[in-house]
Amino acid sequence: MRSVLFYTAARFLIFLVTAAILALFGARGLLLLALAVLISGVVSFVLLTGQRDAMSSAVVSGVRSRRGKFQRTRTKEDG
């Protein structure tokens, strides 16, 4: 769970920094938001590879754990 929160916070921070830099260069309104989303997405893709992998592993292990619990509960009810 911690890796998911860290990745989300890092993505948001990169977006805010990108938007602030674009605002300093004169971008406003919808153009500012569109450029900030596009640029921060590319920057996040490059910079947050390790965090994205950690988050993915955490999500996959959580899903597997929940599936295992569900299967154990289901077999317990059937038996």
pLDDT by residue, tens only, the chain of 79 residues: 788 899 999 999 999 999 999 999 999 999 999 999 999 999 999 999 999 999 999 899 888 988 888 888 888 766 5
Beta carbons within 10 angstroms of residue 7's beta carbon: 20
Beta carbons within 10 angstroms of residue 41's beta carbon: 14
Residue with tokens 């309104």: 29
Among 19, 3, 18, 9, which Cα is nearest to 57's?
3
Check residue 73 and give its pLDDT: 83
Model-wide pTM > 0.85: no
